[in-house]
Amino acid sequence: MPCQGVWLGWDINNPFGRPHLPHWQQTDCRRTAFRYRSNDEGQSQAVLRRVAAPKLTQAVTGAQAVEAAVSRYGKLDILINNAGISLRKRIEDTTEEDWDRIMAVNAKGVFLGTKRAIPAMRQGGGGSIINISSTAGLVGSPYSGASYAATKGAVRLFTKATAIQYAKDGIRANSVHPGLLETPMTEDMLADAAHREERTKRIPLGRIGTAEDIAYGVLYLASDEASFITGSELVIDGGATAQ
């Protein structure tokens, strides 16, 4: 897939982000990766990471992250809003602090990343924004906390609003909706053999997904082949939500 441009990824070191790197390194894209963090006030920070370097090198704000990409490469073409945390508490067990924290990272983080990237993309003639949501943002589930589902539903509709508002600027926005994956976020849950078997039986393709499955979908949405796709939802769940 031709992918010629500069991309910026939030929380590229999380379970979804890490496998993106080898696939992107096979493209012509120039890479600037950032790790998203949220403090107690929900304000965003990012840590600039040189992809070829073994460690994080510089703390920067979100605005500075975009400026760094543009300063280094002259433009910003692709944004991957990949930051996310999980919470599996029932509604009655969820505190206001729980709610505010997950909203700050999963929903506000996408808003801030998008807000800061749009001016640079507009100046460069367009771009592609890819927001990582979840199948929990599409359907209700007994396995996902209500607060988590609310954040992922917010990401889905925020993506559509972004797509409509900025299509005239040549900026595309799409959401990716992973199903159950083998990641550190689900490691404790899937360690239970009976639960793993139960969840696997619910997936028509008969297996739990991997982060690499998601990486290929993200790469497609960022590529030239997806130039007529915006405001859409790419569901990568082995068929689970098709039932």
> Residue 18's domain is classified under what CATH number?
3.40.50.720
175 belongs to a structural domain: yes
148 counts as catalytic: yes
Mean pLDDT of the chain: 80
Full domain range(s) for residue 17: 6-234
Summarised one tens digit per residue, pLDDT across range 97-113 is: 999 999 998 999 899 88
pLDDT above 60: residue 144: yes
Task: Looking at the chain, list the stretches that DSSP marks H as alpha helix, in order from N- to C-terminal side.
Answer: 20-24, 62-73, 96-103, 109-123, 146-166, 187-190, 193-201, 211-222
Q: Model confidence over 110-133: pLDDT tens digits?
A: 998 899 999 999 999 999 999 999
Q: Is residue 173 part of a domain?
A: yes
**Is residue 242 assigned to a domain?**
no
240: three-class secondary structure by DSSP: helix
Span 18-31, pLDDT tens digits: 444 445 455 455 44
Whether residue 70 contacts residue 81, with contact meaning beta carbons closer than 8 Å, is answered with: no
What confidence tens digit (pLDDT) does each residue in 75-94 have? 888 888 887 888 989 999 99
The predicted model scores a pTM of 0.82
- Classify residue 120: in a domain, yes or no: yes
Number of domains, the chain: 1
Helix %, strand %, coil % for the chain, to 5?
45, 20, 35
Longest dimension (CA), the chain: 53
| Number of C-beta neighbours around residue 112 at 10 A | 23
Are residues 143 and 192 in contact, defined by beta-carbon separation less than 8 angstroms?
Answer: no
> Which of 36, 73, 143, 148 is flagged as catalytic?
148
Domain-embedded: residue 43: yes
β-strands 171-178, 233-236 pairing: parallel
Mapped to the 3 state alphabet, what secondary structure does 65-128 carry? HHHHHHHHHCCCCEEEECCCCCCCCCHHHCCHHHHHHHHHHHHHHHHHHHHHHHHHHHHCCCEE
Q: Is residue 243 part of a domain?
A: no
- Using DSSP's 3-state secondary structure scheme, residue 158 falls into helix
